[in-house]
Amino acid sequence: MKRFTLFGAVLTAAVAVLAGCNPVENPTPKFSSGMDGDLRVPAGESKGEINYVLENAAEDGFVEAKSNLDGEEIWITDFDYSQDGTVAFNIAANGEEQEREAVVNPHLFIFGWKRPELRRKSDTGCKGR
């Protein structure tokens, strides 16, 4: 009788383990910027936007854009992600005669940390007078 009980317990445990080991594979997210090259803007205050495509989005992922500006030279501000597929931002007026230049890069983040293999640099330059 002990043999049948042991066999039944082992069989039940094996079925439970095999039934629980069927992981659902989530496809890898694909992120790409829809813009290559420069965005030229007039010297006055304006708005800019970068379009992107995100396929197989992760539930806990998000898109964020940053510029290479810092300190007193920050003239690209207020990144807006409210519209899917677009990162919008404000460009402050340029009171100088000299053109200015910046790089804005959108990135895909998952679990609160950047996944380098999913990062796509757009190297979108914002130039203005």
What ranges in 1-129 are assigned the alpha helix state H? 2-20
Report residue 59 as tokens.
């539930």
More confident residue, 71 or 10: 71
List the chain domain ranges. Answer: 30-128
Confidence check: pLDDT of 35 > 80: no
Q: How high is the mean pLDDT of the chain?
A: 75
CATH 2.60.40.10 fits 30-128, yes or no: yes
What percent of the chain is modeled with pLDDT above 70?
65
pTM for this prediction = 0.65
Residue 129: other Cβ atoms inside 10 A = 13
pLDDT, tens digit (0-9, with 9 covering 90-100), for 89-121: 999 999 888 898 988 888 888 764 454 444 333
DSSP 18-51: HHH--PPPPPPPEEEES--SEEEE-SS-EEEEEE
- Burial class of 52 by CB neighbour count within 10 A (0 to 12, 13 to 18, 19+): buried
